[in-house]
Amino acid sequence: MSDGDWSMHDLVMELLKKYKPADLWITTYALRETYVRQILMAQDRGDLNKVKMVLDYRAKVRTPEVFQLAANNINQICLTAIHAKATILKTKDHYISIIGSANWTSNPRIEAGVVTMDKTIGKFNVDWIEKVMNDAEPFK
C-alpha cells in the first residue's frame, strides 16, 4: 500500500537490483514518458531482456508522444480495452507478479496491490497477457 510515496516503476526498478536479467510484462491503463525511459535504460543496462505491454487503446490518443516512444522501443505492444494493472518480472528462477491499482505514472493517491513470487500465479498472468497480445481468448 502506498500513499504516493512510491509508484510501480519505483518498485520494479528496486526489484531489478536483485532479480535480473528479467523479462517484463506490463498491462496498464496509463503510461508516462519518464517511466518508459526508465524501462529503456534498464534494457540498455542489460537488466531487462524483453518487454511486452498491453495498453489501453486510447493511449495512442491520450499520450501520443509517450505511445510513440514505447512503440518504437518496446519489444511488443498491444492496444486493447484494458484497465487491469499487472506487472510480471520473470527471471531464470523466479516469477514476480505485482497486481494492484497502480498505473505506470506518478500518483499522489492511495494505491494498493499484492506482490507474489508464486510461480503458478506468475505463469497464469503471463499466459493471459500473451493470449491478449496474440488475439487469443484469455477467458476460456
The residue segments making up the domain with residue 17 are: 8-133
Q: What is the pLDDT of residue 1?
A: 83
Answer whether residue 2 is part of any domain.
no
Answer whether residue 139 is part of any domain.
no
Written as tens digits, the pLDDT of the chain (140 aa) is 888 777 888 999 999 999 999 999 999 999 999 999 999 999 999 999 999 999 999 999 999 999 999 999 999 999 999 999 999 999 999 999 999 998 888 878 888 899 999 999 999 999 999 999 998 778 77
The residues pairing with 127 across neighbouring beta strands, listed in sequence order, are none
What is the CB neighbour count within 10 angstroms for residue 130? 16
The residues pairing with 26 across neighbouring beta strands, listed in sequence order, are 53, 87
Give the CATH number of the domain where residue 49 resides.
3.30.870.10
Please report, as a single letter, which amino acid is at residue 119. K
Answer whether residue 1 is part of any domain.
no
Please count the structural domains in the chain.
1
Q: What is the pLDDT of residue 72?
A: 97
- Taking the C-alpha atoms of residue 102 and residue 69, their distance in angstroms, rounded to an integer, is 21
- Taking the C-alpha atoms of residue 88 and residue 133, their distance in angstroms, rounded to an integer, is 15
Answer whether residue 138 is part of any domain.
no
pTM, full prediction:
0.94
